[in-house]
């Protein structure tokens, strides 16, 4: 069971965007960082375990070419083997900062040359794999950036072509050492999932077709893909083969966020956050799912939810028109 803890105040509401909450825990300093997007700015907050806000920083989207101020689509901390970078995506480009947001180390402007006049141009979907950071695009491409151990010499090393519609989310997990390991999955607005093997050259292993609804959020768990869809379903697939293991009618409305640590957290526009225990049966190796907890956030369009620690003993939730980050911890 979880109980409500002290909320963390925001300067403004979270924008109505899926995956609109990023969390970075710094165990050595007993601090948790939160990142939330609102319009052309991103709010970064640091909080002590009891929820006392200690510092706030506001980042603005780099203007780039264009008349109107650019809207930020996502903020996400990427934990690399040797450094942590904060990545911010917008309708103009991709910004990478040192983890506290103090110094911008890289800027990649979006090229709208291949977009039609009626097509929105944006980047969305951020994840790290090894020393690479991957960012999804409106065109369906995924940009792969090679990150040095320090300094700003970041290089666009590859562009992955697997999607025909805008990328929504990207998930990775550390490779387990097997050959041909599926350690990254990308999702798009059509519900298509592409499964990749990361490395010096990324390799497309399989495609899992959509079924007419978007897939706003994905996670990877021990070689299993957890995908949350616009119809409220969570589906679990074998990453290497695309085989469907489990289908959960988890929510009454579109799912807006999934997270893992080690339980699965799902949040949706139906005001509910659910926590599910995933396990493999010892006999046949089948995936088993058990519902552990459900939390209602009344009269709120939930748009982001994340565990706050690796053990999954606490989680945080953001909502549209809600000027605070709600926190819950296990009793």
- Predicted confidence at residue 305, as pLDDT, reads 98
In this prediction, residue 12 has a pLDDT band, given cuts at 50, 70 and 90, of: confident
**What pLDDT does 142 receive?**
98
What is the percent of the chain where pLDDT is above 70? Answer: 94
> What is the reported pLDDT for 286?
85
* DSSP code, position 270: T
- Half-sphere exposure at residue 207, Cβ-oriented, CA atoms within 13 angstroms: 11
Read off the pLDDT of each residue in 70-81 and give the average, rounded to a whole number. 96
Higher pLDDT, 64 or 300: 300
pLDDT for residue 287 is more than 80:
yes
Just give the CATH number of 19-262.
2.130.10.10
pLDDT for the residue numbered 216? 98
pLDDT on residue 178 = 55
**Mean pLDDT, residues 125-143:** 97
- Burial (CB count <10 Å: 0-12, 13-18, 19+), residue 308: buried
Tokens of 88: 């911010």
pLDDT recorded at residue 183: 93
List helix spans (H) across the chain.
none
- pLDDT at residue number 139: 94
Of the two residues 43 and 12, the one the predictor is more confident about is 43
Supply the pLDDT for residue 177: 53
pLDDT digits (tens, 9 = 90+) for 83-125: 999 999 999 999 999 999 999 999 999 987 665 555 789 999 9
Mean pLDDT across the stretch 41-62? 85
- pLDDT attached to residue 171: 98
Instruction: Supply the Cα-derived Rg of the chain in whole angstroms.
Output: 19
Interval 46-73 mean pLDDT: 80
Say which residue, 283 or 132, is predicted with more confidence.
132
pLDDT digits (tens, 9 = 90+) for 151-207: 999 999 999 999 999 999 999 998 655 555 899 999 999 999 999 999 999 999 999
Q: What are phi and psi of 23, to 5 degrees?
A: -130, 135
**Rounded to two decimals, what is the model's pTM?**
0.94
Average pLDDT over residues 313-322: 95
pLDDT at 234: 98
What is the pLDDT at residue 248? 96
What contacts 166, CB < 8 A, 6 or more positions away? 122, 124, 136, 137, 138, 139, 140, 188, 189
Instruction: Give the mean model confidence (pLDDT) for residues 21-38.
Output: 90
Give the separation between CA 12 and CA 317, rounded to whole angstroms. Answer: 15
Per-residue pLDDT tens digits for 191-250:
999 999 999 999 999 999 999 999 999 999 989 999 999 999 999 999 999 999 999 999
pLDDT for 26: 79
């Amino acid at each position: 069971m979880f109980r409500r803890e002290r909320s963390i105040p925001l300067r403004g509401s979270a924008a109505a965007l899926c995956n609109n909450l990023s969390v970075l825990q710094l165990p050595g300093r007993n601090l948790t960082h939160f990142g939330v997007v609102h319009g052309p700015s991103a709010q970064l907050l640091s909080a002590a375990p009891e929820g006392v806000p200690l510092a706030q920083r506001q980042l603005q989207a780099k203007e780039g070419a264009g008349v109107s101020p650019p809207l930020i689509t996502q903020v996400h901390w990427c934990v690399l083997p040797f450094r942590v970078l904060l990545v911010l995506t917008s309708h103009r480009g991709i910004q990478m900062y040192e983890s506290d947001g103090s110094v911008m180390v890289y800027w990649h402007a979006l090229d709208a040359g291949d977009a039609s006049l009626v097509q929105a141009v944006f980047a969305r979907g951020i994840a790290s794999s090894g020393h690479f950071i991957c960012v999804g695009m409106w065109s369906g491409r995924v940009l792969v950036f090679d990150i040095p151990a320090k300094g700003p010499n970041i290089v666009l090393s590859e562009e992955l072509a697997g999607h025909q519609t805008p990328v929504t989310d990207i998930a990775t997990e550390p490779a387990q050492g097997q050959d041909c390991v599926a350690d990254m999955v990308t999702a798009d607005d059509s519900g298509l999932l592409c499964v990749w093997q990361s490395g010096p050259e990324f390799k497309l292993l399989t495609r899992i077709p959509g079924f007419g609804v978007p897939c706003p959020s994905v996670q990877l768990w021990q070689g299993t893909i957890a995908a949350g869809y616009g119809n409220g379903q969570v589906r679990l697939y074998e990453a290497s083969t695309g085989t469907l293991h489990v289908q959960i009618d988890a929510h009454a409305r579109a799912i807006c966020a999934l997270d893992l640590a080690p339980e699965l957290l799902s949040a949706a526009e139906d005001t509910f956050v659910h926590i599910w225990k995933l396990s493999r049966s010892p006999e046949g190796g089948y995936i088993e799912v058990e519902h552990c907890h459900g939390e209602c956030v009344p009269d709120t369009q939930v748009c982001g939810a994340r565990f706050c620690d690796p053990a999954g003993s606490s989680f945080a939730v953001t909502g549209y028109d809600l000027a605070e980050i709600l926190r819950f911890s296990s009793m």
